[in-house]
Amino acid sequence: MTADVLPVLPLTEVSELLARCKVSPVELTQSCLGRIESANDQVNALVFVDPETAIVQATQAQQRYTLRRPLGLLDGLPIVVKDNIAVSGWPMTNGLAVQRTSSADADIVSRLRRQGVVILGSANMDEGALAADGVNPHHGRIMNPAYPGYSSGGSSSGSAAAVAAGFCSAALGTDTLGSVRLPAAYCGLVGFKPSHGRLSTAGIISLLPELDAVGPITRSVADVVHLMTEISGWIVSIEQSPLGRLRWGVPDSFSEEELDVDVQVPFEAALADLSAVVRPQAVTFRHWDPGTLRRSGLLLAEHHAACHWTDPSSAYSARLKSMLQYARGASADRLARAQTCILESKSDLIACFSEVDVILMPTAPQTAFASDTSAPVNQADYTALANAAGCPSISIPCLTPEGGRPAGLQLMSAPGSDEKLLAWALQVERLLVDC
């Protein structure tokens, strides 16, 4: 196997090659750095790369493998992190026109280091994580390597683009209203948002603490399981979680007018494939209105940023200044209504989990949109619900006709059931591939 193929293999396959000493961490890291050097100018996925430190980390991992003392199954694997996640000694911008140097690692970065992960660099992102079009006014447009001419989504735009381009084995992003799952769906990848609080967000620039989460973007569900098992000690057992015993729900709140046909067709096909094993039932929400929830979450995120960010005004684009000024002027009554909307949506979803174990829906109403067009305002209509409820959610690519852009299939389960959701997602992924 040639070294240039390694970065585009699933993380689990690369991990096995490392464990069997079929490839070295230095070879793998050099291959990723080579891809970054040759293609990042076009993709613009990364805003900071530290090749020297990466090679040092890889060399240390290689020595551990030589001594048969790896730190774990992630030792030597190259990963990038979103530019709002602190890495000690590295610059961090949060997508703004200002640069600060992190004095300490974010908690999630510390977890990765303890496993011997090689951290390559920081991923470009939407400004302040308050957009989802992959266009940063200070650091440039992020391209979708899997589908040239189309957006990689956001706000973890660069994280998804880096994985799709083969710059790394996996990437970390943040998700407040869908910002891990949306770019994963647009790039044909897997994005996982854990339950609120299951992974610490300490050392990450907050957008809205009650909705924020940090999660991985990978090539497969198995890759997510591999990561979460190693850094968090989660036990994911398929044997204890067979699909046929589950109650599956599909919201009856979808508007056929909102769903693009490029999403509706593969979503219905996925349901048909799953019907051999499961029988989804319709679930009804009393209060959840997708658009209202998305707008409420965005307003509260903007208001939190306006009240807590301390960057100079010169760090913001005119667009972001306008958003923050608008939110700063929101009345107490309007903010209270937005908070009520989130609480009622949460109550709706939690109540549904007394009737079903898993809820299925599209990740987004559309596939990746052309990068030279305006971003659809409804992108986060279906992802925001999991953030409001604090429940785990994962986006898996739906199979599409040859040449078509992937649609995301989103699975959600009750708060705290992350390990079960991943076990179910593994089986769903395999079933869809086999079909």
Q: At what angle do helices 290-308 and 332-352 cross, to 10 degrees?
A: 130
Whether residue 19 contacts residue 70, with contact meaning beta carbons closer than 8 Å, is answered with yes
Find the catalytic residue in 15, 24, 155, 395.
155
Whether residue 180 contacts residue 191, with contact meaning beta carbons closer than 8 Å, is answered with yes
Burial of 217 per CB tally in 10 Å (0-12, 13-18, 19+) = buried
CA dihedral sign of residues 327, 331, 334, 335: positive
Report d(CA 326, CA 306) in Å as an integer.
Answer: 9
Whether residue 81 contacts residue 123, with contact meaning beta carbons closer than 8 Å, is answered with yes
Whether residue 83 contacts residue 48, with contact meaning beta carbons closer than 8 Å, is answered with yes
Closest to 46 in 3D by CA, of 178, 139, 129: 139
Find the catalytic residue in 24, 82, 371, 413.
82
Cα atoms in the Cβ-side hemisphere of radius 13 Å centred on 18: 34
Phi-psi region of 128 (alpha: psi -120 to 50; beta: other; left: phi over 0): left
Report d(CA 231, CA 73) in Å as an integer.
Answer: 10
Question: Which helix (H) or strand (E) is 39 found in, with range?
Answer: helix 25-43
Query: CA-based Rg of the chain, rounded to a whole angstrom?
Result: 20
Catalytic, 420? Answer no
Catalytic, 155? Answer yes
Tokens (6 digits) for 210: 């009650």
> Which residue type, as a one-letter code, is found at position 257?
E
Report d(CA 177, CA 301) in Å as an integer.
Answer: 9
Find the catalytic residue in 157, 179, 220, 241.
179
Q: How many C-beta atoms lie closer than 10 Å to residue 268's C-beta?
A: 12
Q: Which residues are catalytic?
A: 82, 155, 179
